[in-house]
A and B are shown apart, each in its own frame.
Chain A
Amino acid sequence: MFGKLDLSAIPLSQPIPLITSAVVILLALGVLVLITVKGWWPYLWRDWITSVDHKRIGVMYCLLGVLMLIRGFADAIMMRTQQAVAINAPGYLPPEHYNQIFTAHGTIMILFGAMPLVLGFMNFLVPLQLGVRDVAFPTFNSVGFWLTASGALLVNVSLFIGEFARTGWLPYPPLSETAYTPGVGVDYYLWAVQISGVGTLITGINIVTTVLKMRCRGMGYLRMPVFCWTALASSLLIVAVFPVLTATLAMLTLDRYLGFHYFTNTAGGNPMMFVNLVWAWGHPEVYILVLPAFGIFSEIFPTFSGKPLFGYRSMVAATLFICVVSLMVWLHHFFTMGAGAAVNTFFGISSSIIAVGTGVKIYNWIFTMYGGRVRFETPMLWSMGFIFTFIIGGLTGVLLAVPPADFLTHNSMFLVAHFHNVIVGGVVFAIFAGLEFWFPKVFGFRLHEGWGKTAFWLAFIGFWVTFAPLYILGLQGMTRRLQHINFDVWAPWLYVSVAGVGILVLGVIAQVTQLVVSIRNREKLRDVTGDPWDGRSLEWATPSPPPFFNFAVMPNVEGEEAYWGIKLRAVETQQLSPEPAYEPIEMPLNSPVGIYTAFSPRSSVSR
Chain B
Amino acid sequence: MGGLQVSEGALARAGRRVCRGAAPGLLCLALTSCSGGVLDPAGPVGEGDATILIDATAIMLAIVIPTILLAFWMAWRYRASNTKAEYLPYWSYSGRIEAVVWSIPILTIMFIGGVIWIGSYKLDPFKPLSDKVPPLEVQVVSLDWKWLFIYPDQGIASVNQLVMPAGTPVRFSITSASVFNAFFVPRLGSMIYAMPGMVSQLHLQADEPGQLWGISAQFSGDGFSDMQFEVKSVPAADFTGWAKNARDSGPVLDKAAYEALLHQTQRVPPSTYRAVDSGLFQDVATQKIPPGPGPQPGGPEHAGREVSPDGSTGGKD
How near does chain B come to A528, taking the closest CB pair, in angstroms?
A: 23
Given known A-B contacts A402-B112, A404-B53, A407-B190, A472 and B70 have beta carbons under 8 A apart: no
A352 interface contact, C-beta 8 A: yes
A310 touches B93 (CB 8 A): yes
A388 interface contact, C-beta 8 A: yes
- Complex CA–CA separation, A373 to B39 (angstroms): 45
Among B86, B112, B216, B287, contact of A479 (Cβ-Cβ < 8 Å): B216
- Flag A338-357 by CB within 8 Å of B: 1 or 0 each: 10111011001100110110
A366 touches B60 (CB 8 A): no
Among B89, B101, B217, contact of A410 (Cβ-Cβ < 8 Å): B217
A363 touches B222 (CB 8 A): no
A329 interface contact, C-beta 8 A: no
Which one of B128-136, B151-159, B244-252, B303-311 contacts A?
B303-311
A399 touches B307 (CB 8 A): no
Chain B residues within an 8 Å CB radius of A307: 88-92
Closest residue to B311 on the A side, CB-wise? A4
Closest residue to B316 on the A side, CB-wise? A8
A588 interface contact, C-beta 8 A: no
A95 interface contact, C-beta 8 A: yes
B33 interface contact, C-beta 8 A: yes
How near does chain A come to B190, taking the closest CB pair, in angstroms?
A: 4
Chain A residues within an 8 Å CB radius of B197: 265
A532 interface contact, C-beta 8 A: no
B295 touches A180 (CB 8 A): yes
A411 interface contact, C-beta 8 A: yes
Among B29, B182, B301, contact of A411 (Cβ-Cβ < 8 Å): B182
Chain A residues within an 8 Å CB radius of B186: 408, 476-477
How near does chain A come to B173, taking the closest CB pair, in angstroms?
A: 11
How near does chain A come to B125, taking the closest CB pair, in angstroms?
A: 6
Closest residue to A338 on the B side, CB-wise? B200
A308 interface contact, C-beta 8 A: yes
Chain B residues within an 8 Å CB radius of A364: 101
A408 touches B311 (CB 8 A): no
Chain B residues within an 8 Å CB radius of A476: 33-34, 36-38, 186
Closest residue to A408 on the B side, CB-wise? B38
A266 interface contact, C-beta 8 A: yes
- Flag A482-502 by CB within 8 Å of B: 1 or 0 each: 111110010001000000000
A271 touches B195 (CB 8 A): yes
Chain B residues within an 8 Å CB radius of A355: 105, 108-109
B287 touches A403 (CB 8 A): no
Given known A-B contacts A8-B307, A374-B80, A388-B68, A410 and B191 have beta carbons under 8 A apart: yes
Interface residues of B in 51-95 (CB under 8 A from A): 52-53, 56-57, 60-61, 64, 67-68, 70-72, 74-75, 78-80, 85-94
Given known A-B contacts A310-B93, A407-B123, A411-B182, A183 and B195 have beta carbons under 8 A apart: no
Chain B residues within an 8 Å CB radius of A486: 225-226, 228
A184 interface contact, C-beta 8 A: yes
- Complex CA–CA separation, A172 to B120 (angstroms): 26
- Complex CA–CA separation, A289 to B89 (angstroms): 31
How near does chain A come to B8, taking the closest CB pair, in angstroms?
A: 12
A547 interface contact, C-beta 8 A: no
A557 interface contact, C-beta 8 A: no
How near does chain A come to B143, taking the closest CB pair, in angstroms?
A: 12
A8 touches B317 (CB 8 A): yes
A479 touches B215 (CB 8 A): yes
A375 touches B217 (CB 8 A): no
How near does chain A come to B217, taking the closest CB pair, in angstroms?
A: 4
Given known A-B contacts A168-B219, A182-B308, A472 and B34 have beta carbons under 8 A apart: yes
Among A175, A409, A472, A480, contact of B33 (Cβ-Cβ < 8 Å): A472
- Complex CA–CA separation, A391 to B179 (angstroms): 36
How near does chain B come to A11, taking the closest CB pair, in angstroms?
A: 5
A9 touches B305 (CB 8 A): yes
Chain B residues within an 8 Å CB radius of A342: 120
A583 interface contact, C-beta 8 A: no
A398 touches B112 (CB 8 A): yes
Among A175, A345, A485, A489, contact of B121 (Cβ-Cβ < 8 Å): A345
Chain B residues within an 8 Å CB radius of A266: 287, 290-291
- Complex CA–CA separation, A412 to B34 (angstroms): 14
Among A360, A368, A395, contact of B64 (Cβ-Cβ < 8 Å): A395
B184 interface contact, C-beta 8 A: yes
B215 touches A362 (CB 8 A): no
A336 touches B36 (CB 8 A): no
A472 touches B225 (CB 8 A): no
Among B48, B109, B191, contact of A353 (Cβ-Cβ < 8 Å): B109
Chain A residues within an 8 Å CB radius of B52: 402, 404-405
A40 interface contact, C-beta 8 A: no
B169 interface contact, C-beta 8 A: no
How near does chain A come to B94, taking the closest CB pair, in angstroms?
A: 8
- Flag A352-386 by CB within 8 Å of B: 1 or 0 each: 11011011101111111111111110000000100
Chain B residues within an 8 Å CB radius of A388: 68, 71-72
Interface residues of B in 104-120 (CB under 8 A from A): 104-106, 108-109, 112-113, 115-117, 119-120
Closest residue to A380 on the B side, CB-wise? B75
Among A348, A349, A373, A404, contact of B87 (Cβ-Cβ < 8 Å): A373
- Complex CA–CA separation, A482 to B201 (angstroms): 26
Given known A-B contacts A375-B80, A479-B216, A367 and B101 have beta carbons under 8 A apart: yes
Among A305, A387, A407, A471: residue with most chain B CB under 10 A: A407
Closest residue to B31 on the A side, CB-wise? A475
Given known A-B contacts A336-B192, A356-B106, A178 and B309 have beta carbons under 8 A apart: yes
Chain B residues within an 8 Å CB radius of A344: 120, 124
Given known A-B contacts A163-B306, A308-B92, A405 and B56 have beta carbons under 8 A apart: yes
Chain B residues within an 8 Å CB radius of A175: 179-180, 219-221
B26 interface contact, C-beta 8 A: yes
B293 interface contact, C-beta 8 A: yes
B182 touches A410 (CB 8 A): yes
Among B113, B182, B196, contact of A174 (Cβ-Cβ < 8 Å): B196
Chain A residues within an 8 Å CB radius of B226: 486
B116 touches A402 (CB 8 A): yes
A592 interface contact, C-beta 8 A: no
25 pairs, A vs B, C-beta closer than 8 Å = A8-B313, A11-B305, A96-B305, A163-B304, A166-B222, A168-B219, A174-B179, A175-B220, A180-B178, A307-B91, A338-B192, A338-B193, A349-B116, A349-B117, A358-B105, A363-B104, A369-B75, A374-B75, A407-B190, A407-B191, A409-B38, A468-B26, A471-B26, A477-B187, A482-B224
Given contacts A362-B71, A472-B30, list 10 more A-B pairs with CB under 8 A: A4-B311, A11-B305, A310-B94, A345-B120, A373-B78, A404-B52, A404-B119, A404-B122, A408-B53, A408-B191
**Top 5 closest pairs, chain A to chain B, by CB:** A371-B88, A359-B105, A477-B186, A476-B37, A183-B306
Instruction: Give the B-binding residues of A (Cβ under 8 A).
Output: 4-6, 8-9, 11, 14, 94-97, 99, 162-163, 166-168, 172, 174-175, 178-185, 265-266, 271-272, 305-312, 314, 334, 336-338, 340-342, 344-345, 348-349, 352-353, 355-356, 358-360, 362-376, 384, 387-388, 391-392, 395, 398-399, 401-405, 407-412, 468, 471-472, 475-477, 479-486, 489, 493
